Structure 1
């Protein structure tokens, strides 16, 4: 891990992070080519890419319901018990996020509000192949179900023998996934976005994946909804002199072992802590079955040393990490001062893996600094909001004149006419004009009964300087 030391008024700059930023052009181009092919040729193209990238293509993409529902019998009872505990915590947390429709009425009888409707159908992408992520199934499926999504399908690539991990299928069964398809990669995203002969088109695609999955999601966005374009995982530990270096080392390694591209940050104002953390890491790394991956990740990690807590907190906000751990004596008091983080783990007992699996909040989080403006996946990602506006006659009489004035300022004559035509109807307490031809006469006066005075001074550039 490289080290940056900030003194006095120095602050961490975004350029110090050396983030790679957008997806590489060659990855975007490859993903677009795959998506376009699947969109045009359907299942045939999907099969071609499954065989090319996964080395296997099942006879039918749809996994039989009986196989999914029986997966719980194939796993250790201890796993199933842990899965059900995680389900309970995650469900309880997300139930509290559910939004309800609301309406309010003004004194003149006008009603405005919001109608909340679940997204009709969703595809959950769950990485697979050589790995299995049953926790991702729970984190993506539960908020969709809480939101009321009627059709939740899961896309996950098969293993080399053509099967799907029983852990993943057991999670799908517990979470209430409606359909499972053994397909992964950019071709799976394309199939869900546009539909094929056997894979249904959905309204939204969510879930993490590799760079090609992320690129495909970005490409289809707009034709279908997506949650986010996720990059490599990351963790930031903000620590003071009370932090245990062994625990901090283990927490950094927990993120590093995900992926050589995962990024770890240690921010501290205790100058002695980094060396003690590094020493503990060496003792632990040689015992790790994922030592190679973990070391590769840690090699491009970053330590930020400051002389005061204020500079350390500012550095955290610049990083805007996916996961933030507060290993500080006054962790709760710091919470209000942190503005940019996907998930915040308060205090030394709050290990980030607890959040990955069982705490309850979602572990699908914004990465790459996007926590500065993005949110964790939640029930709100599976609900749509429609504004509702219902005017009364009295409400029209109160508000239509303001519409006419504002529309005139913007030069939108028909806008003003639309509002103005309702004024005589409201005064007469009628729903329709008795003489339609007469109603169309003198429309200019109906739209703009008075002419606005021109602005007193032209706001030319020289007047603004």
Structure 2
């Protein structure tokens, strides 16, 4: 079912591994032009453009783009108690883990009277995107909102596409979770238009521009994020999800198969990759995949994902080679199901989130682990971190020098400013001692 990439007996270089890793056939650059036109429509025509786009792309025209407060309250009242309890549990866990991500201020005394303070300042306003599409994602509301709140963001706006099944309203579960988290600025808008609205604002909606946009979405959302990145901050260009499992002969093949299927369930372009040094384990996983794909609700979607070019069985000589391949792949989700997991973990540099052992499946992280599930996809974990409280914080250095401390370093400033032919820099220091 999974195509095989056999690396045994080889030792590819880092660049060769990058060329070998399987990828989904998506091209954000191809979506830039249409996404740009959609953003321009919103900039020129405001709410009217968002309503027209909803009708065009979502098949429904919402009564209003701004979700009325009573809709949020009513959705929360109507929320299934079991679902509410699960959401509240997830909120508590994610909040505790997110609070731990906020760095404490640090004061460094370099000399008497010479102090540099490191502080972490939250952005003032953010726009959080929760996709629609093939599923409803109340968990993504939690994963976006809670870290922003933990970071101290004052103003939070949330957008989710209007649903034709709900008369143009956002999905009621999304609305309910927003209300549960105290977010009352919610918009029924989706895709590139929503990203453009956040970045530039929509005056006739009373929607003010934001300083950072976060949240997953389709290729047009990713393209829109790239286009507005010079205007507002973004978390990452999220694309189809992926999972990579490193497993040895001691792994349970059914657990591995179940986890590969769980992420393939998201999208036909989702990537499921198994890296192993055991042919016997690989064969057993393949057999269990057949059974699980046939039995799961979204089996056809899963089959397309697992048989696509982005998914693979990778055979390696040893777990050191498994780690090297993983670092080249840069998985969004990495599972390590081997006897000595810590030894493998020590060789891992690039991954969005890492799940250790047979009882830490990726789906745990999607909902209840306390970690965040908004993670870098498409290999971007090689240079981008997942969403956290830090996403909404900016490090700032506060400098406090008194006269004697400045006098001590004045020769340093003078020498370097002269070397760089910027004499006024030095003069700004010496001026303080000329009186």
Pairwise TM-score range, normalised by the shorter structure: over 0.9
- 2:245 counterpart of 1:244: no
What is aligned with 1:82?
A: 86
Q: Is the 8 A contact 1:151 1:178 kept in 2?
A: no
What is aligned with 2:329?
A: 319
Task: Structure 1: state its 5+ residue gaps.
Answer: 426-465
> What is the alpha-carbon distance in structure 1 between the residues aligned to residue 406 and residue 41 of structure 2?
52
- Report the CA distance between 1:270 and its aligned residue: 0.4
What is aligned with 1:3?
A: 4
- 2:105 counterpart of 1:120: no
- Equivalent in 26, 29, 33 of residue 30 of structure 2: 26
- Report the CA distance between 1:354 and its aligned residue: 0.3
**Residue pairs, 1:269-308, within 5 angstroms:** 269-300=277-308, 301-308=311-318
- 2:55 counterpart of 1:47: no
- Report the CA distance between 1:84 and its aligned residue: 0.9
When the two structures are superposed, what TM-score results if normalisation uses the length of structure 2? 0.94
> What is the alpha-carbon distance in structure 1 between the residues aligned to residue 432 and residue 109 of structure 2?
20
What is aligned with 1:366?
A: 376
- 2:153 counterpart of 1:143: no
**3-state SS of paired residue (2:350):** coil
**Residue pairs, 1:42-441, within 5 angstroms:** 42-129=46-133, 131-160=135-164, 161-196=167-202, 197-198=204-205, 199-300=207-308, 301-425=311-435
> What is the alpha-carbon distance in structure 2 between the residues aligned to residue 21 and residue 379 of structure 1?
32
Between 1:14-23 and 1:273-282, the stretch displaced more is 14-23
> What is the alpha-carbon distance in structure 1 between the residues aligned to residue 18 and residue 209 of structure 2?
39
Q: Is the 8 A contact 1:4 1:302 kept in 2?
A: yes
- Report the CA distance between 1:130 and its aligned residue: 5.0
Between 1:60-69 and 1:230-239, the stretch displaced more is 60-69
> What is the alpha-carbon distance in structure 2 between the residues aligned to residue 325 and residue 24 of structure 1?
27
Residues 1:163 and 1:47: Cα distance change in structure 2 (over 3 Å): closer
What is aligned with 1:442?
A: none
> What is the alpha-carbon distance in structure 2 between the residues aligned to residue 98 and residue 176 of structure 1?
21
Between 1:35-44 and 1:139-148, the stretch displaced more is 35-44
**3-state SS of paired residue (1:62):** coil
- Report the CA distance between 1:21 and its aligned residue: 8.2
Moved over 6 A (4+): none
- Report the CA distance between 1:282 and its aligned residue: 1.1
Cα deviations across residues 219-239 of structure 1 (Å, max 9, x unaligned)? Answer: 001211111111211000000
**3-state SS of paired residue (1:348):** coil
- Report the CA distance between 1:20 and its aligned residue: 5.7
> What is the alpha-carbon distance in structure 2 between the residues aligned to residue 305 and residue 233 of structure 1?
22
Q: Is the 8 A contact 1:105 1:112 kept in 2?
A: yes
- Report the CA distance between 1:7 and its aligned residue: 2.4
Q: Is the 8 A contact 2:320 2:347 kept in 1?
A: no
> What is the alpha-carbon distance in structure 1 between the residues aligned to residue 23 and residue 418 of structure 2?
49
> What is the alpha-carbon distance in structure 1 between the residues aligned to residue 257 and residue 147 of structure 2?
32
> What is the alpha-carbon distance in structure 1 between the residues aligned to residue 199 and residue 73 of structure 2?
26
Between 1:369-378 and 1:62-71, the stretch displaced more is 62-71
Between 1:216-225 and 1:92-101, the stretch displaced more is 92-101
Which protein shows a greater Rg? Answer: 1
Q: Is the 8 A contact 1:54 1:129 kept in 2?
A: no
**3-state SS of paired residue (1:254):** helix
> What is the alpha-carbon distance in structure 2 between the residues aligned to residue 332 and residue 349 of structure 1?
15
Between 1:10-19 and 1:301-310, the stretch displaced more is 10-19
- Report the CA distance between 1:405 and its aligned residue: 0.7
> What is the alpha-carbon distance in structure 2 between the residues aligned to residue 248 and residue 135 of structure 1?
24
When the two structures are superposed, what TM-score results if normalisation uses the length of structure 1? 0.88
Cα deviations across residues 330-387 of structure 1 (Å, max 9, x unaligned)? Answer: 1133222211111110000001000000101111111111112221111011112221
- Report the CA distance between 1:259 and its aligned residue: 0.6
Residues 1:19 and 1:273: Cα distance change in structure 2 (over 3 Å): same
Aligned pair count reads: 425
Between 1:151-160 and 1:129-138, the stretch displaced more is 129-138
Residues 1:116 and 1:313: Cα distance change in structure 2 (over 3 Å): closer
**3-state SS of paired residue (1:63):** coil
Between 1:175-184 and 1:265-274, the stretch displaced more is 175-184
Q: Choose between structure 1 and 2 for higher RCO, CA contacts under 8 A separated by at least 6 residues.
A: 2
Q: Is the 8 A contact 2:141 2:178 kept in 1?
A: yes
